Structure 1
Amino acid sequence: MPHSTVPSALLCHFMLQSYYSGFNFVNRNASLKQEKEASLKQIVINLGAVSYATVAGALPQIIIRQFGLRTPSVLNFFRTVLPVPLAALLAYFNVTAVRSEEAENGIQVFDSEGNAVGLSKSAGEKAVRETALSRAALLGTTAAVPNLMLALLQRTRLFQRRSVLLGPLRPFSTVLILGLMVPVSFSLFPQLGTIKKERLEEELQTAAVDGHLYYNRGL
């Protein structure tokens, strides 16, 4: 939603990205949850991801203030158009940063009978990428649809005469779209993913007797 000042934008994005970071960390791949306490490296990565995404998220408002932008079309771009791809990109970035250990150390893969056969970095990269794409779809759509809806409604006679109705409509539509997109985004990729034999490490390919192995993607 559009912000009026830079401090308010920074505060809102800090709270949002902090929640993203915590959610992504708690719901990472189950094979990495054996370590109950987060490592110092992971804490630094999480703090860095939150800090970077907070500033990046507030960048449109920072640009408006820094350059004193006043043109309506320019303001509309920075307040309603630019935040849409930015929301999707930052959601993708948060997942890849917070769950980077899965790609670096690998995640547990299983055969068709459910037996663990080892850790696979390729499966970890695939799991993180799929989760990041689903989160980008969630936040990108939630940012885009309400803006598009309001832009269309502003052209109707009803809302041209009663523009005050647009105020409560924006947060209501945002909550509605977010609620509808949560199950959609979580089901874009299966929770129990598969990875083909050719994409696995050499030491794990012999275990893929069916041509692929399975992994838990995380949420």
Structure 2
Amino acid sequence: MASSVPGPIALPESRYDLSTYWGRVRHCAEISDPTMLLTSSDDLQQARKIISAYRHGELKETTPEFWHAKKQLDSTVHPDTGETVFLPFRMSCCVPSNLIVTAGMLTPNMGTAGTLFWQWANQSLNVAVNGANANKSHPMSTTQLITNYTMAVTASCGVAVGLNKLVPRLKHLSANTKMILGRLVPFAAVVSAGIVNVFLMRGGEIRKGISVYDSNGDEVGKSKKAAFIAVAETAFSRISNATPIMVIPPLILVKLQKTVLKGKSMAVQTAANLGVILVTSFIALPFALAVFPQYQSISVSSLEPELKNKVDSNKKPIETVYFNRGM
């Protein structure tokens, strides 16, 4: 993010009002804009120069070039490290990266092998995205990464296979209801495993705390309470994102297969499925990401005792601190 560029002058968080949900939706739409995937190394270098000029008072106002530079950095660079996030795991690549995996999970009548494969693929992608975009206060060891990854995959596969076997045994339900419930099994697996995934992959943050900063951007200390808020909100936002993407397309496809897609080839049905998923994902992602602000403020009175009664570089008492929720 642009905040990784140093300088004495604070950056405006966004061109939109992030205290409102709609303002955050518009901001998140910029972060997840897939056109930002075309940003080159030279573009990022030029963007850093523009942001640096603003942070050092050389650029006096927020010009269109400033906002474009900030958008490039916000969608491409990690806010804690300042490093470029690997392309497939950037938020601007979220929809393209998830398209094939989501379509695979929503394919009806796959059987156990297909279910296991696509749940594994989805959790593998989730782990990679979590690792690339998480708060970097505490890097995760390889052993922790492997352990958490294994548990997340096990959770998703267990829920998916278990529900696929359970639904057909619900004798009191109609055939149509069973079909709809069967199409929603991937949603249940993704939501349950997504929560497990986030808490496992970022459990170190809860145990050790994450960095909190004063209004000048200086680190005040580490907070476990802020970490729990960050991880819990991220887990909830994953549910918010998964719900429309994993629920709306399969229900629409059930309707289409009874009408315009009836008797059509598998290729046509697959193309329709991909199209519905793609449109739903582009619409849903900004709304899901915007549920909670990425950078949040919290009163030090709500945090650990050791964070209270501190002063900033100007010798003023610190009453509010800020932290990066991560994605």
Counterpart mapping for 1:63-82 below 5 A: 63=166, 67=169, 72-73=175-176, 75-82=178-185
Q: Secondary structure at the match of 1:58?
A: helix
Counterpart check, 1:23 vs 2:129: yes
- The structure-2 alpha-carbon separation of the partners of 1:3 and 1:199, relative to structure 1 and needing over 3 Å to count, comes to farther
Q: Secondary structure at the match of 1:31?
A: coil
Conservation of the 8 A alpha-carbon contact between 2:261 and 2:269: no
User: What is the alpha-carbon root mean square deviation over aligned residues?
Assistant: 2.8
Conservation of the 8 A alpha-carbon contact between 1:53 and 1:94: no
- The structure-2 alpha-carbon separation of the partners of 1:161 and 1:131, relative to structure 1 and needing over 3 Å to count, comes to closer
Q: Which one of the candidate residues 160, 164, 173 is aligned to 1:61? A: 164
Conservation of the 8 A alpha-carbon contact between 2:152 and 2:193: no
- The structure-2 alpha-carbon separation of the partners of 1:121 and 1:154, relative to structure 1 and needing over 3 Å to count, comes to same
TM-score (norm 2): 0.57
User: In the alignment, which residue of structure 2 is the partner of 1:115?
Assistant: 218
Q: Secondary structure at the match of 1:188?
A: coil
* 1:100-149 residue CA offsets vs partner (Å, 9 max, x unmatched): 11111100001111110111000110111111111111111101122343
Q: Which one of the candidate residues 253, 270, 282 is aligned to 1:179? A: 282
Q: Distance in 1 between matches of 2:297 and 2:115?
A: 40
Q: Secondary structure at the match of 1:109?
A: strand
- Indicate the percent of aligned positions where both proteins have the same amino acid: 25
* 1:166-202 residue CA offsets vs partner (Å, 9 max, x unmatched): 6542332112212222233222222211222232001
Q: Distance in 1 between matches of 2:322 and 2:182?
A: 43
Q: Distance in 1 between matches of 2:195 and 2:241?
A: 10
Q: Distance in 2 between matches of 1:41 and 1:195?
A: 29
- The structure-2 alpha-carbon separation of the partners of 1:61 and 1:120, relative to structure 1 and needing over 3 Å to count, comes to same
Conservation of the 8 A alpha-carbon contact between 1:30 and 1:216: no
- The structure-2 alpha-carbon separation of the partners of 1:40 and 1:150, relative to structure 1 and needing over 3 Å to count, comes to closer
Counterpart mapping for 1:90-101 below 5 A: 90-101=193-204
Q: Secondary structure at the match of 1:118?
A: strand
* 1:8-57 residue CA offsets vs partner (Å, 9 max, x unmatched): 10011011111111211221102224x6xx24234212221222222223
- The count of residues paired between Structure 1 and Structure 2 equals 212
Q: Distance in 1 between matches of 2:225 and 2:135?
A: 14
Q: Distance in 1 between matches of 2:295 and 2:324?
A: 5
User: In the alignment, which residue of structure 2 is the partner of 1:14?
Assistant: 120
Q: Secondary structure at the match of 2:292?
A: coil
Moved over 6 A (4+): none
User: In the alignment, which residue of structure 1 is the partner of 2:150?
Assistant: 47
- The structure-2 alpha-carbon separation of the partners of 1:39 and 1:161, relative to structure 1 and needing over 3 Å to count, comes to closer
TM-score (norm 1): 0.82
User: In the alignment, which residue of structure 2 is the partner of 1:143?
Assistant: 246
- The structure-2 alpha-carbon separation of the partners of 1:195 and 1:136, relative to structure 1 and needing over 3 Å to count, comes to same
Structure with the higher helix share, 1 or 2: 1
Q: Distance in 2 between matches of 1:162 and 1:39?
A: 49
Conservation of the 8 A alpha-carbon contact between 1:14 and 1:54: yes
Q: Secondary structure at the match of 1:213?
A: strand
Structure 2, unaligned runs of 5 or more:
1-105, 312-316
Structure 1, unaligned runs of 5 or more:
none
- The structure-2 alpha-carbon separation of the partners of 1:93 and 1:199, relative to structure 1 and needing over 3 Å to count, comes to same
